[in-house]
A and B are shown apart, each in its own frame.
Chain A
Amino acid sequence: MYSNKFGRLLFGLRGLKVSPVSGAIQRSEVRGFSSGAAVWRQRRAACAEMQQTRSASHTTVDPGEVKRFQLMANKWWDEEGDFAALHAMNDLRVPFVRDNLLNVQRERHPGQPLAGLRILDVGCGGGLLTEPLGRLGATVLGIDPVEDSIRIAQLHSSHDPDLRDRVSYRACTLEELSGDGEAKQEEQTETQFDAIVASEVVEHLADLETFAICCSHVLKPGGSLFITTINKTNLSYALAIVAAEQLLRIVPRGTHDWEKFVSPVELERLLESNGFLVQSVQGMLYNPLSGAWSWTNTTAINYALHAVKQDVGAEDRNGPDGDQCEPTHS
C-alpha cells in the first residue's frame, strides 16, 4: 500500500504531462506547473467575467461536471484508485456526522447508533459515504445526477443484506427530489429527512442559493445539514489544485475549479440567510504521504460544517425559487 502511494507521488512529481482539462466553464487550461504563473495572471484577468460562474441561473447541474464524473464512474470503489482520498475521508466525516447526530438523539441503540434516522446523501456518487451511514443504522437515500454512479452504488450495496434494507439510491437532482416533496405536501413528514449530508459537493455546484433553499425544503425543522468542502484561499489553490491535481495526482486533473470553492464565512452567511444556524466549522487536512485525513485548526484548505435548520421562517423561503433546486455531484 505504501509503495503504491509512493509510486504515485513520484510519478506525479515527474510526469507533468500536458493533458487537456475537461472542465466545462473553464476558460484557462492549466498546462503544468511551469506555466503556473501565467495561469495565475490569466485567472486574475478572467476573474471579472468569471463572476458569472456562479450565476443565478437556477440550473446548477453543470453538464461538464456530469460528464467528467460519468467517465470515472467505474472507479468509485477502487480504494487505491482515483477516489482513494475520498475513501480515506470517511475516517473523519462519518464520526463527524455520527457524533453530531448522537448529540441530538435521545435514545441509545448500541450497535446501531443512527437507528431511526432518515438521512439524505446529496451527490452520493458511488455510495462511499452512504454505505457507512447505512451500516450505522440510518435509513439513507443517496441521490446523484450521474446515472452510472447510481448504478455502481446500487450494485455495490446489493450484496450486503444489511444495506439492502437501509440504503437506497435515486438518479435525480436535489431539485427534483425537493419538487416531489412539494407535490406531496400532505405527506410532509414522510418526505422530510432528519439530516442531509453534502460532502465534497458544493464545490461542484453552480448555484448555492437554490441548493440551500432545497435543503431547507427537504429537511425537518431542527434537522442537521453537514457539508464538507474546500475553502477559497490562495493556500487552497496551491494545495488542492496545483499540488493535489497536477503534481501529486491525488485527484484526477480538472476535478476541482477554484472559482467554485466557497469560504466558510460565505457559506455560513448563505446558510443563515436561508434559515440555518451554523453549529460548528472544523478544518480538515490531508496528508498525502500517509494517505490519511486529520482534523486541524485552520479551515484554509478543507473544512467540515454542521448547520441546523431553524424552525422559524421556513415558510418564507417558498418563493419563486422554490421549485428549482439544484442537485449536486460529488
Chain B
Amino acid sequence: MHKLTKAPLALNGLGRCFITEKHLSGVNIIRRGLVCSENTIDSNKTEVYDVIISGGGMVGSAMACSLGMDPNLSEKKILLLEAGHKKVMDRLPDTYSTRVSSISPGSATLLSGIGAWEHITRMRYKPYKRMQVWDACSDALITFDKEDLLDEMAYIVENDIVVAAITRQLDTLPENVQVKYKSKVVKYTWPMPHHAAESIPWVKVTLANGETLQTKLLIGADGPNSMVRQKLGIPTVKWNYDQSAVVAVLHLSEPTENNVAWQRFLPTGPIAMLPLSDTESSLVWSTGHHLAEELLELDEESFVDAVNSAFWSNENQSDLIETAGALFRGALSAIMPSEGSPRQLPPSVAGIGPKSRVMFPLGIGHASEYIRHRVALIGDAAHRVHPLAGQGANLGFGDVACLTQLLSQAAFNGKDLGAIQHLLEYETERQRHNLPMMTVIDLMKRLYSTNAAPVVLLRTFGLQATNMLPTLKEQIMAYASK
C-alpha cells in the first residue's frame, strides 16, 4: 500500500501512462485514452475534502468549529491542519498567561454560537465595563462605557483558553470534521482555471510527512506571515512599526473591583492595563525596540516602578499644553455642559508574575485580495493591526462569521464551495469593514507617537470633544463591538 502511494508521487514528471497500466486493472487502460495524467492515480488514492483550513490558532479553529456546526454543511468533509500540538487544558494553570485578547460582544456571540463560550466561562475570563484612554502629554481623556455600567463592554480572555475551549468543542463534533495536529504544510499546488478540463480542479496540499490532500476550498488562517498568501503571490500592503509590545502579568497592590481597562498614550507608545482578576492585570506596553529590550532586562522592582510611573507621572506635560487643555475643556463644557466623566487613576502595581515578561514586534499588514480561485484568507493572514485598539482577534472572528454564513448559503444552493461568486462577496463585505478600522488604528498610532505641540493640541481637543459627544462614543463602541 505504501509503495502504491509513493510510486506515483516519485514518478511525478515521467510517463504517466506507465503508472496507470502498471498499478491499476486492465479496465483502466481503456481510460488511458481519455484522461491520462498522474492525477488519475492520485485522485483515486488522495482524499478530497470539501474544506481544508490551514492554521489552528484562535481564528482557524473557530472557523473549523463554525463550519462543522452549521446544519447545511453537515455532510461536508472539513479538515483543520495545525502545525503545533493539541492544546488540551484539563486543569486550569494557576498562573495567567501573558497573551490575552479583548473579546468584543460580537465575537462572544460567535463563540457562544459554536459552543465554545460556555467552556470559556467555566474556565477563566474577565468582563470589563469601562475603558479609560488618556494622553500623557495633556490631561485629555476619554472614557467608554455602557449606560449606567450595567452591561459589559467586552471580555479579557487568555488566548490559550480560547483555543483550548474551541478544541474541546471540536472534539465533540461528528467525524466529518477532522483535525490533524503536528501537520506542517510544505507545499500548495494551485488548480488550473476552468478551461483546462482534464486536470484535477482541486487545491493540493502536501504535508511534511509526505501525505497529499486535496480540497475544494482552502482557507488560509496561518497568521501574519501566511504561507498561503505568500504562495499565491497576493500583494500585501505591510510595514513594521518601530515598536515592540512587552507583555506581562501584573500583580496589583491591593485587590480591587478591577472592571476597567486602562490605556495611556505615551509619546513612545501606548501602555495598557487589562483586568484579569481582582488582583491581577495584563500589561501590554508598546514602545520602541530599544526601550522594550531595556524593560525586559530590568529587575522586577525597577520594572514595576517603570510601569507605575508610566501610568501616573505627568512629566510629559508642559504648561502650555496644560493651559490650553483647561481652556478647551472650559469652552466645551460651555457648549455641552452635561458630559465628561471624572478622571480616574489606574490601580498601582506591586509585582509581576513569575517568568512572564515577553516581547514581540508590531506591524501592520493588509492583503489586497482576500480570495483567489478556491482559496480564502481569514484572520491575521488577511489583516494585521496594532494592538492599541484590541481589535486584532475580533476582526478575525468577524471574518469567520461572515464566511461561514456565505458558505452555508452556498451549500444550501448546491454550489461548489470553492466557486468564486460567494468568495467575492466575503471579500467585499470584510474589506469594507476591516479597512476603515485599520486605517483608524494606524492613524491613532501615528497621531499619538509624537509630543510636538501642535499635534498634541489637536489631539487634545479632538479627544476632549469626542469625550463630550455621547452619540459619537456610542457609534465608536458599536463599530468596535461587531
Interface residues of A (CB under 8 A from B): 1, 74, 77-79, 90-91, 94-95, 98, 110-113, 131-137, 152, 155-156, 158-161
Contact = CB atoms under 8 A, between A and B. Distances in A.
Contacts, number: 59
Interface of B: 34-35, 43, 48, 71-76, 194-195, 197-198, 200-202, 216, 411-416, 420, 424
Contacts of B43: 159
Contacts of A156: 197
Given A111-B72, A156-B197, A90 B413 contact: yes
Contact of B194 (A1, A77, A94, A155): A77
A111 B76 contact: yes
B48 A94 contact: no
Contact of A110 (B48, B71, B202, B424): B71
Contact of A1 (B72, B201, B202, B424): B424
Nearest to B195: A78
A79 B413 contact: no
Contacts of A110: 71-72, 74
25 contacts: A1-B424, A77-B197, A78-B194, A78-B195, A79-B420, A94-B414, A95-B413, A111-B71, A111-B73, A111-B74, A111-B75, A112-B75, A113-B412, A131-B416, A132-B414, A135-B411, A135-B414, A135-B416, A137-B75, A152-B197, A155-B34, A155-B197, A159-B43, A160-B48, A160-B216
A94 B198 contact: no
Contacts of A152: 197
Contacts of A158: 35
Given A78-B195, A135-B416, A159-B200, 16 more contacts: A78-B194, A79-B194, A90-B415, A91-B413, A110-B72, A111-B74, A111-B75, A111-B76, A112-B75, A132-B414, A134-B414, A135-B415, A156-B197, A159-B202, A160-B48, A161-B48
Chain B interface helix/strand/loop/mixed:
loop
A143 B48 CA distance: 27
Contact of B414 (A1, A74, A78, A133): A133
Nearest to B39: A159
Contacts of B35: 155, 158
Given A110-B71, A111-B74, A111-B75, A159 B201 contact: yes
Nearest to A292: B421
B120 to A, nearest CB: 27
Contacts of A134: 414
Nearest to A114: B414
A110 to B, nearest CB: 4
A131 B34 CA distance: 21
A136 B415 CA distance: 9
B194 A131 contact: no
Contacts of B71: 110-111
A132 B447 CA distance: 52
A175 to B, nearest CB: 28
B412 A132 contact: no
Nearest to B191: A159
A131 B197 contact: no
Nearest to B198: A155
Given A110-B74, A156-B197, A131 B414 contact: yes
A95 B409 CA distance: 11
